[in-house]
Amino acid sequence: MIYLDNNATTQPLPEVIEAMRVCLHDAYANPSSVHQFGQTVRHKVECAREKVAQLLAASPKEIIFTSGGTESINLAIRGGLRIHSHRRRFVTTAVEHSAVLRVAEQLAAEGYTVDYIGVDHEGRINEAEWADKITDQTALVSLIHANNETGVMFDVPRLAAVAAQKGVPIHVDAVQSAGKVAIDAASWPVQLISIAGHKFHGPKGVGALYVRRRTRIEPLILGGSQERLLRGGTENVEGIVGMGVASEIAVRDHAQTTEYVRRVRDEFECGVRASIPYAYVTGQGAERIYNTSNIAFEGLESEAILILLSEAGICASSGAACSSGSLEPSHVLKAMGIEERVAHGAIRFSLSRFNTREEIDHVVSMLPELLSRLAVLGAR
């Protein structure tokens, strides 16, 4: 199997698995218990909090553990808006993850004015529209850092500065970027950052929300006094410990991993474009996160391509969603104005430190023959 679906989830590092195994076997006490065993487990949680904080260049006191990226996003947006209930405007972009867009849809149904900022053909944000739509009536802004489909990155410090100048708090969805690119929460003019452990070789079921000091939000899950009263419930200790280890290794290996994966990704794109004339790399003119390659094969259907890839032992994914029996192009590619004939054939290949050049060479060599089978079947 060749796994090129790392934006969906990543393979946990061996060190993560071992740390979680030890934790499950030897550190099963409740970290809220006052006895020595419980406090030993509490120490493990706090050590992990320090490692996650280092990943974001933040203070450990600014890290709230959650069940994953989706919960972190919901807590940031919903919890933030409850504090600013006198304002009824919410600003985001047209290319956000569904975890943000579904909340935005719900907000609109509740009477909020929701502004969706557009992007150009390469996926770059319309900065003039961004500056115009953020006003003193805006309660909160939510901005994705690295797009989960195309990998296109937004300049968070510059865009956040616009909101900061108008006194508007900003939430950053860094689920696809944390653990891959440098995030400096201390210097960024943002209040909230969402991340997920399984996107950078940690476990599923655990995430974190960065909450800048003196930023007020209200909890969504009420219960005990865990996580500074912002997220009730007994902590997922083994998940938190695993995420801490993954954070530590991401910081340690950042430069080496970035250089290697970027080089392999670029070689992959060059090989595909050289051998398949109708292949189009979406967002290629914009700054992109180094592991993501969204390639559209004009005239083909992504669903059919994915089936053939899977049969060949290659795991990839598509931004398309099947609705009422018909395949619709991704909302991200629609927002970019990608022609439907092209967008229907978009495949997301997302790499990690575990992918080898031999794997990539194999995929590049077999893709032309595989796609030609669809052409013979009349797909093009």
Active site residues: 322
- Kindly state the tokens that stand for 38: 């419980």
Q: Determine if residue 319 is left, alpha or beta; phi over 0 gives left, psi from -120 to 50 gives alpha, anything else beta.
A: alpha
**Per DSSP, what are the bridge partners of residue 222?**
none
Contact 200, 250 (CB under 8 A): yes
Q: Which residues 6+ apart lie within 8 Å of 21 measured at CB?
A: none
Q: Which residues 6+ apart lie within 8 Å of 288 measured at CB?
A: 146, 150, 151, 152, 153
String of b and e for 246-285 (b: at least 16 CB within 10 Å)? bbbbbeeeeeebbebbeebbeebbebbbeebeebbbbbbe
The pairing of beta strand 346-350 with beta strand 207-211: unpaired
Report DSSP letters for 154-212, one per residue: --HHHHHHHHHHTT--EEEE-TTTTTTS---TTTSS-SEEEEEGGGGTS-SS-EEEEE-
Q: Other CB atoms closer than 10 Å to residue 138's CB: what's the count? A: 22
